[in-house]
A and B are shown apart, each in its own frame.
Chain A
């Protein structure tokens, strides 16, 4: 039996259990009119029964499906002739793959010999048995759980509390996933990073000025020495982030001010959603635009002024990234400006200051912490942005502050180190995780501080 059919049957059974439980509870007290004698509403007795049917059965199902492949393969292998038993693990694995493919009815290459078809037949037989067993067990357990629950239904059974307790447990589990995600991130990055730092000292990574992760991969090859000084990556990231901020902060801030203070409602209704569209465009699209439209344009413009512009200049990537971040800055700035009490604004205007004076001398200073917090969040976003820089910035780890030169960033290097190459013992691959750790820690700090400031500030005038 297919596991999906089984799950469907279980679902159908739980619906039946629901009605059975409800019915019994009503019947126990002698009809629907006597409902007030029951501890809970009749439906809760139904849920109580259904949950006790479903939970054990689903649990067994999952566990079974998880263990099934290993057990069946072991059984099939044990039944093989002696000669096959002595095969190396790799060859055995290949043989089993062939068996599985044959059993699945997939096209296999070559003739299937007797041993193979026999093994495939046994594989199928074992699978069928396993599924039969599973179906019996899951349905039996579900039926048993449902029946026990059904029989335990008494008018004074606190069914609602039981059901609610289980639901609450489910809710708590769901909300803890966020924690597990964070732990997962930290652990997965940390372990590999530690392995990296066993090969390359932390100090060299943090303070080394030369990044060239291509090491020789064979003993008899003369390769480059391979150095893992990440400073050029950090400066490259900062340079591009700086350019992006140079675009996004003034533009975003002035947009927020204009829309909050000067524009008519009509313009606001048009301009705001349009700017929101900017935030919704996927970053890979920005990357495409940066690499194919903006970068050549920056290059031509630079050359007409006599600058030597690299084809993958930091400027092009930074400009486009800045555009992408405008909506983020402007909406956070908008929040901060709107949080300033109207009384302060009215007071300043009443004293005869112009609107710009009110804005720059009263509202902005009052909103400053919120705006700064918002900018920190924007910086964190720019540092972690990947696709734009992968497509528009280069791979050359230059230590420079020249916006016309090509630089590389932490995220670009993570991508280049991990795409394609999958060996997990070389310093080259592990370096990606060390960079990931740096990225995570830095953005985490920025986020914590930024969110804290934004939140604290929002509450200040409430």
Chain B
């Protein structure tokens, strides 16, 4: 009997392999929402996605964390099912990105501001608490710092925090921060670094005369090892801080909020990063968070409109919404209803307002 069995097995395997390849070939349209973008917005987007998936008959959106810049790049690559429907961003879209988008046929983009997030400079919970000014941050992390006389730039000579400001602890400067694909990086550079940079009068004067020079002084981060690019994974930074008490990390307030038993935020310009301080605008390094939607995809990708409604509903982004439990700082009531109305009407973004 063995002989028949083996031969039948051979035939059967041929049939089976055909069936598998047939399954490989058979493809249908995409019936789920595809989201990319900022790792800061990722925790909020996944929570909304999960709620949306569980609460409706639509599939749960697929969310990938690629960084704001990376996300916008994928987003702007074109319209169609192969490209993401939504990209999260921890900064506003730039004109250059709008242009790239337009050149690939992505024209009607709806901007949705979802709330605020502070950027914190944190260290391990058992490490020394510090009070940094934005000028300290600039002097500790810039590639070139002003020398003795005006207009003079020198390679950043500071090795320890005490070199920067004698009141700070005498430990080596080691800051784990996000890479250029990250919106947190952009926002940090614009708010903290540039803010500190402006405190030097002659550099501030440069802003009007030599915009590019000003930018390259204020925005360039040192590359000699004091600033470590730690990738897009904010969790990883939190874990590293826990292990290394002299290091600082740069990430969003929501991560601080979720990990308050392991890390603590430094005061910046005397203000501690708390929910209320960021909501009131007292904390100097805070930025709005956004996501961007392709208008062309709405009503085409199943559930996209519902997802937008869920994200902009009071129970999500409201004062007591579940996103605020995750550390998102809500916008004022009027702003929320205005944006929610925009989203309902799908009012596209116009760069003219900027």
Contact = CB atoms under 8 A, between A and B. Distances in A.
State if A and B touch, Cβ cutoff 8 Å: yes
Nearest to A110: B299
Nearest to A94: B300
A50 interface: yes
Contact of B11 (A3, A14, A311): A14
B269 interface: no
Contacts of A61: 18, 22
Interface string B77-100: 111111100000000001011000
Nearest to B303: A109
B26 A97 contact: no
B312 interface: no
A188 to B, nearest CB: 18
Contact of B180 (A4, A217, A295): A217
A108 B297 CA distance: 12
Interface in A151-194: 167, 170
B64 to A, nearest CB: 6
B22 A7 contact: yes
B181 A421 contact: yes
B232 interface: yes
A89 B186 CA distance: 33
Contact of B300 (A104, A109, A212, A299): A109
Interface stretch (A199-207, A219-227, A430-438): A219-227
A380 B296 CA distance: 50
A439 interface: no
Interface string B1-28: 0011001001110110011011001111
B141 to A, nearest CB: 12
A300 to B, nearest CB: 11
A221 B303 contact: no
Nearest to B19: A7
B70 A107 contact: no
Nearest to B64: A420
B25 A101 contact: no
Interface stretch (B43-51, B110-118, B214-222): B214-222
A243 B104 CA distance: 50
B244 interface: yes
A96 B28 CA distance: 10
B81 to A, nearest CB: 4
Residue from B69, B179, B215 whose CB has the most chain A CB atoms within 10 Å? B179
A136 interface: no
B146 interface: no
Interface string B226-241: 0011111000100110
B179 A214 contact: yes
Nearest to A292: B239
A101 B79 contact: no
B231 A416 contact: yes
A217 B96 CA distance: 11
B29 A69 contact: no
Interface residues of A, number: 66
B117 to A, nearest CB: 20
B26 A3 contact: yes
A90 B236 CA distance: 37
A423 interface: yes
B58 interface: yes
Contacts of B58: 107
A97 B65 contact: no
Contacts of B80: 89-91, 93-94, 97
A420 B66 contact: yes
A100 interface: yes
Contact of B15 (A7, A394, A422): A7
B74 A214 contact: no
Contacts of A395: 230-231, 236
Contacts of A82: none
A394 B240 CA distance: 9
Residue from B29, B216, B228, B306 whose CB has the most chain A CB atoms within 10 Å? B29
B109 to A, nearest CB: 14
B311 to A, nearest CB: 14
B14 A54 contact: yes
Contact of A423 (B18, B73, B300, B306): B73
Interface string A52-95: 00100010011001100100000000000000000011110111
Nearest to A299: B243
A298 B302 CA distance: 51
A259 interface: no
A409 B21 CA distance: 37
Given A91-B79, A101-B30, A421-B66, 15 more contacts: A4-B19, A62-B21, A62-B22, A65-B22, A89-B80, A93-B79, A93-B81, A97-B301, A170-B14, A214-B179, A310-B243, A311-B239, A311-B240, A311-B243, A422-B66
Interface of B: 3-4, 7, 10-12, 14-15, 18-19, 21-22, 25-31, 57-58, 64-67, 69-70, 73-74, 77-83, 94, 96-97, 104-106, 179-181, 186, 189, 215-216, 219-221, 223, 228-232, 236, 239-240, 242-244, 296-306
11 contacts: A58-B18, A62-B21, A88-B105, A95-B300, A108-B299, A109-B306, A217-B70, A217-B73, A220-B94, A295-B243, A311-B239
Interface of A: 3-4, 7, 10-11, 14, 43, 47, 50-51, 54, 58, 61-62, 65-66, 69, 88-91, 93-101, 104, 106-111, 167, 170, 212, 214-225, 295-296, 299, 310-312, 394-396, 416, 420-423
The 4 closest A-B pairs by CB, nearest first: A311-B243, A110-B299, A100-B29, A93-B80
